[in-house]
């Protein structure tokens, strides 16, 4: 059971327990009373005098007399005068004194104590501070050789590993950095390389997600931080890995709510603990984030996280290494080009590439292949790109097929003439993800920085489908279909990202006025791109029609089928 489900279950248990305890304290005496018949004291005396009662039970603490008559249990008030008991005995009535009254009086208070103890235990279960799994250096098998690419990152980490192992640096007066900040988009191996560092260094490893520091109890989060570092000191040499540190390490705010104060307390505790150990203690803190700009300045200043290593999307050489790593031990057909696969996976994270290889293995089994073929990889890439499989059977009518064909033809022609990417596949076969068709491209030129021209080209390609429908409908926006919704959304996101690069101003720093300026500038970019792509498709309409006709005929086109586009 994960933490979220466990907390939900425990909170439900607390609610049920509360209801039961309240019922026990307030309603159990009433439930007993409801099963008895109340009689007046006068009637009771008459029953005694007439010999209807043989025995009574006196509860002095409750001022109550209980007795049975005619098969039912009755009760009346206890008068508590000196001769009352003598009067009953003289009437032949036996008397029993109820001595459990004191315990009955204490029962509500005992219930409250038990309830309080149970609440404490349950909260401990919700917030089990200090319950961190410590991996022994003997059990960590991950090494830098298990991490594909990242040669420069591994080189920097090898130096730090050497500093932790060798006394020569300390003897020279050099200080071992206390912390390493791994920054970069998710899915690119930050956790993996942290484990590899611990394995390569031969030290114990404690991995924790920053969300585990958050707590519903005030002060519990900072207590967890202290327990974490106490565990590390008890198991040194040790590497502490804090994933998603921005979850608790974001810039401190003036928010005076309980949550805001607790967050500030956790950050302060984290800073104190990092400052509290010496470089010679053999402890290294590694933190990972994809939102480094959100971290508190005091956390990332020199003397705390001294090293900042950026782990970005893998370059071509790393992608080739990843494909080889994930296909190691599997039979791959000789016709499969790792270089081509690296081109086809441009922009993919390390985890996405691993998923593509896994999907290719599944596809190979499905297709009855004993080796991984280029077809298996192609289907896997399509599966990951469009987030679904191509449907075997389509129920599209001829109107929708024609509209989809022109839509995808517009994407293909705009992509070919207005971007630096190569169109590799176009289809009008719908997918299980809801797409009526799709157009795929690949990047042949490995670039580290995307230019404004590249972004504008991608926006124009996104608008290509809508522009083609617009021209097909004789320049009527009323003829444009809802199939372009996802394209418009993506184009808008690209335009927003382009604004600060193109204009050289970070409008996000100007609050709401800046946001308004961003949207205005983005709208201007989108209008300009729309006009450009409409003009291009008007000029190249013969290519659009030919591509659409081929799609209606074949349904799926490869880059070889689109070779006629090169006749510019």
Contacts of 220 (CB under 8 A, 6+ apart): 127, 129
CB-CB contact of 47 with 11 (8 Å): no
**Burial degree of 147 (CB within 10 A; 0-12, 13-18, 19+):** buried
Q: CA 100 to CA 94: how far, in whole Å?
A: 19
Q: CA 9 to CA 6: how far, in whole Å?
A: 5
**Is the previous residue joined to 237 through a cis bond, with omega within 30 degrees of 0?**
yes
Contacts of 23 (CB under 8 A, 6+ apart): none
Q: CA 561 to CA 423: how far, in whole Å?
A: 11
Full 3-state SS string of 243-308: ECCHHHHECCCCCCCHHHHHHHHHHHHHHHHHHHCCHHHCEEEEEEECCHHHECCCCCCCCCEEEE
Nearest to 481 by CA among 458, 465, 492, 462: 465
Q: CA 548 to CA 474: how far, in whole Å?
A: 16
CA 556, chain centre distance (Å): 36
CB-CB contact of 249 with 160 (8 Å): no
Q: CA 342 to CA 322: how far, in whole Å?
A: 9
Is 408 known to be catalytic? yes
**Burial degree of 383 (CB within 10 A; 0-12, 13-18, 19+):** buried
Q: CA 385 to CA 388: how far, in whole Å?
A: 8
The answer for 70, left when phi > 0, alpha when psi is -120 to 50, beta otherwise, is left
Q: What is the DSSP string of 176-188?
A: PPSEEEEES-TTS
Q: CA 255 to CA 264: how far, in whole Å?
A: 9
CB-CB contact of 391 with 431 (8 Å): yes
Q: Which pair of structure tokens corresponds to residue 13?
A: 């248990």
Nearest to 48 by CA among 27, 62, 67: 67
Q: CA 540 to CA 538: how far, in whole Å?
A: 6
How many other CB atoms sit within 10 Å of the CB of residue 119?
14
* From 408, 422, 453, 502, the catalytic residue: 408
Q: CA 559 to CA 567: how far, in whole Å?
A: 14
Contacts of 232 (CB under 8 A, 6+ apart): 206, 238, 240, 283
Q: CA 169 to CA 181: how far, in whole Å?
A: 22
Q: CA 220 to CA 211: how far, in whole Å?
A: 13
Q: Which residues are designated catalytic?
A: 408
């Amino acid at each position: 059971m994960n933490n979220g489900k466990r907390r939900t279950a425990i909170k439900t248990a607390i609610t049920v327990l509360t209801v039961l305890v309240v019922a026990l304290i307030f309603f159990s005496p009433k439930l007993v009373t409801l099963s008895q018949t109340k009689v007046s004291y006068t009637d009771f005396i008459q029953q005694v005098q007439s010999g209807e009662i043989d025995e009574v039970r006196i509860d002095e603490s409750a001022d109550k007399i209980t007795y049975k008559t005619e098969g039912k249990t009755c009760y009346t008030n206890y008068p508590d005068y000196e001769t009352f008991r003598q009067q009953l005995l003289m009437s032949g009535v036996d008397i029993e004194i109820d001595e459990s009254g004191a315990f009955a009086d204490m029962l509500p208070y005992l219930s409250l104590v038990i309830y309080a103890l149970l609440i404490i235990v349950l909260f401990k279960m919700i917030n089990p501070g200090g319950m961190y799994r410590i991996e022994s250096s003997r059990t960590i098998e991950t090494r830098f050789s298990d991490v594909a690419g990242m040669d420069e990152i591994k080189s920097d980490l090898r130096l730090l590993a050497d500093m932790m192992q060798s006394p020569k640096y300390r003897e020279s007066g050099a200080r071992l950095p206390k912390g390493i900040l791994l920054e970069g988009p998710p899915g690119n191996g930050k956790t993996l390389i942290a484990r590899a560092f611990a394995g390569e260094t031969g030290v114990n490893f404690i991995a924790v997600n920053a969300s585990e520091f958050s707590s519903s109890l005030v002060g519990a989060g900072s207590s967890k931080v202290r327990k974490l570092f106490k565990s590390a000191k008890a198991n040194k040499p040790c590497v502490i890995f804090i994933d998603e540190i921005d979850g608790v390490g974001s810039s401190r705010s003036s928010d005076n709510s309980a949550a805001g104060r607790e967050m500030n307390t956790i950050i302060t505790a984290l800073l104190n603990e990092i400052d509290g150990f010496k470089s010679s203690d053999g402890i290294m803190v590694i933190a990972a984030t994809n939102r480094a700009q959100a971290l508190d300045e005091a956390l990332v200043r020199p003397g705390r996280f001294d090293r900042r290593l950026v782990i970005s999307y893998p370059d071509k050489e790393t992608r080739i290494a990843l494909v080889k790593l994930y296909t190691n031990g599997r039979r791959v057909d000789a016709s499969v080009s790792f270089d081509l696969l690296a081109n086809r996976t441009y922009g993919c994270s390390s985890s996405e590439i691993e998923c593509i290889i896994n999907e290719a293995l599944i596809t190979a089994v499905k297709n009855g292949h004993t080796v991984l073929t280029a077809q298996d990889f192609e289907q896997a890439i399509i599966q990951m790109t469009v987030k679904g499989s191509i449907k075997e059977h389509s129920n599209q009518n001829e109107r929708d097929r024609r509209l989809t064909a022109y839509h995808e033809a517009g994407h293909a022609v705009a992509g070919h003439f207005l971007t630096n990417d190569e169109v590799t596949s176009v289809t009008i076969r719908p997918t299980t993800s809801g797409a009526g068709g799709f157009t795929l491209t690949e990047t042949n030129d490995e670039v580290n920085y995307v230019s404004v021209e590249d972004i504008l080209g991608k926006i124009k390609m996104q608008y290509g489908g809508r522009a083609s429908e617009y021209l097909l409908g004789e320049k009527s926006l009323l003829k444009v279909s809802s199939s372009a919704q996802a394209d418009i959304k993506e184009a808008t996101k690209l335009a927003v990202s382009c604004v600060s690069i193109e204009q050289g101003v970070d409008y996000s720093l100007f609050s709401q006025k800046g946001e308004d300026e961003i949207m205005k500038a983005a709208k201007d970019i989108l209008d300009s791109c729309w006009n450009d792509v409409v003009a291009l498709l008007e000029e190249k309409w013969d290519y659009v029609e030919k591509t659409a006709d081929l799609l209606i005929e074949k349904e799926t086109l490869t880059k070889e089928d689109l070779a006629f586009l090169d006749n510019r």
